[in-house]
Amino acid sequence: MPFSVYVIAWLLVGFLAGSIPFGWLAARLRGINLREIGSGNIGATNVMRALGWGWGLAVLLLDVLKGLAPLIGLRVCLAATAPGYAPPESVPWLLMGTGVAAILGHTFTPWLAFKGGKGVATGLGVLVALMQWWVLAPLAAFVLITATTRIVSLGSVFAALLVGATILTVPELWQYWLIGVICPLLVLWTHRGNIARLLAGTEPRLGDKPPSSGEDATDQQPEAAGDDAG
């Protein structure tokens, strides 16, 4: 197989893996249309509001796996290829491309009219694969900010900015500089509605009563950001 076809195949694998709408599927198993609950977002935060913490955590882990599994599979397959098949300088780009494809698959899932989640959980899976233990600092920032403020979007935005700063300042991560630029920008874009509400002081907090069906319809992804961070 020509290496160019190999690259395209992995980009497709990443996108399709990311496109699996676990949140929507979990809600359907309970007879619920997640698009008609809360913000209408298919991420783990809205699943927690609609189905409870157990379901929400399960969806969170599955969404993380959507970003992590393709990159682990890619590394294994690259290790099994013949020497020289993949030019060494192309490997970081292939890893980044597959990771971004997974995030975009979650954000613009074709199975739901290209309206998915915010890409934070799937992005975390990608970052674990690329940054390894360096991801602990952004993850700790997310947990600390979310725990103290009960605002998931605030933790997500700060963590994304810290991801960019970490990748662009740690020499061993420079090869993934494009992820360090794209991920924060994508998170800021998908959370633009959240940021507006944060500035206005109206952003919902975890534990608040969910908005009624359709209340946040104008804030659903991708036209604008809902109140979730998944």
Burial class of residue 82, CB neighbours in 10 A (0-12, 13-18, 19+): exposed
Joined tokens for residue 171:
């020499």
pLDDT band at residue 164 under the 50/70/90 scheme? very high
pLDDT band at residue 219 under the 50/70/90 scheme? very low
The reported pTM is 0.87
Residue 8 lies in a domain: yes
Residue 29 host element (H or E): helix 22-29
How high is the pLDDT of residue 158?
95
Distance CA 227, CA 230 (A): 10
> Cα Rg for the chain, rounded, in angstroms?
18
Domain of residue 119: give its range. Answer: 3-219
Residue 74 lies in a domain: yes
| 205 half-sphere exposure, CB direction, 13 A CA radius | 9
Count: domains in the chain: 1
Residue 226 lies in a domain: no
Distance CA 33, CA 121 (A): 21
What would the pLDDT profile of 42-85 be if each residue is shown by its tens digit?
888 889 888 989 999 999 999 999 999 999 999 999 999 998 89
pLDDT band at residue 182 under the 50/70/90 scheme? very high
Closest CA to 118 of 217, 222, 197, 12: 222
Mean pLDDT to the nearest integer, 32-37: 87
How high is the pLDDT of residue 170?
95
Residue 227 lies in a domain: no
How high is the pLDDT of residue 40?
80
| 185 half-sphere exposure, CB direction, 13 A CA radius | 8
Residue 145 lies in a domain: yes
Does the structure show a pLDDT above 50 at 220? no
Mean pLDDT to the nearest integer, 139-146: 95
Residue 61 lies in a domain: yes
Does the structure show a pLDDT above 80 at 192? yes
Residue 230 lies in a domain: no
92 close to 177: Cβ distance less than 8 angstroms: no
Does the structure show a pLDDT above 80 at 222? no
DSSP string, 125-171: HHHHHHHGGGGHHHHHHHHHHHHHH--HHHHHHHHHHHHHHHHHH-G
- Measured CA to CA in angstroms, residue 117 lies from 6, 77, 120, 159, 202 at distances of 28, 29, 8, 17, 21
Distance CA 140, CA 38 (A): 27
Residue 196 lies in a domain: yes
